[in-house]
Amino acid sequence: MKVSVPVALGAALVLTGGAVTGLRAQAPATFVVESPTMATGRFMPRDYSPDGRNLSPPLTWSGLPPGTRQLAVISQDYGAGRPPPWVHWIIYNIPSSAQGLPEGIPFDADHPMPTEIAGAVQGNNGWGLSAYRGPAPPAGSVHHYHFAVFALDEEFDLPPGLDRGELLQAIEGHVIGQGDMVTLYERQPMSERPG
């Protein structure tokens, strides 16, 4: 299933919160972020969480603004973290030729990136790991997970391991477009799962 859900600029700014500091004075263009396995406003599959294989989910994007030379992605939860957001995933130096991210980006730096995103590197999430780690909210609470994609007008060669603040600082003034996708997750412990 592929669900197209364009995000309005106003909503994008609200959803990405602190990321607005990385924007230009001129409002960035918006573009569409989708996933072949997830849909905005729906629960994500458990394989993207520690209740499953904890794979990074696939993303696709379309309608990038002209002049896009590189992309960056931050996945975060504004309902967690002290202070919020809790960062689940950061990946950047993504070539503009990429039309998305495949499922299961390696969490081991010794494993090469898929060829379509060669050169991309991962930053440090809330656990201090340069890898995707999916939702693990307290049982019984539904959390929202944002996948914010930034279109950049410059080809950066940033080192791996940047945290969210460091990445936003590095790309400040170079964000010419932004898209966002919001999914949900609620843990269902073994004891509460039927069968």
Partner 1 sequence: MTLPPKDPRPAISRRDLLKTAGAAGAAALIPDAVGAVTEEAPALAPLLAGPMTNLTASETEILSAMVDRLIPTDELGSGALDAGVLQYIDRALSEAESDAAEAYRSGLAALDQYSRYSRGGPFIDLSTVDQDSALIDVQIGAATGAGAGFVGSSASFFNMVKSHTWQGMFGDPKYGGNVDFAGWDLINYPGIRLAVSPEDQRSLEADQLERARRSAYDFGLFE
Q: Residue 71: helix, strand or coil by DSSP?
A: strand
Q: Which string of b and e fits 5-26 if b means at least 16 CB within 10 Å?
A: eebeeeebbebbeebeebbeee
Report the interface residues with partner 1, using CB under 8 A: 36-37, 50-55, 58, 102-104, 106-108, 111, 114, 127, 129, 131, 133, 136-139, 187, 189-192
Closest CA to 40 of 165, 186, 145, 192: 145
Q: C-beta of 131: minimal distance to partner 1 in Å?
A: 8
- At closest approach, how far in Å is the CB of 104 from partner 1? 3
* Minimum CB distance to partner 1 smaller for 66 or for 138: 138
CB nearer to partner 1: give 17 or 114.
114
Q: Which is nearer to partner 1, 74 or 101 (CB)?
A: 101
Backbone angles phi, psi at 10, to 5 degrees: -55, -45
Residue whose CB is less far from partner 1, 48 or 150: 48
- CB atoms closer than 10 angstroms to residue 31: 20
Minimum separation from the CB atom of position 180 to partner 1 (A)? 23
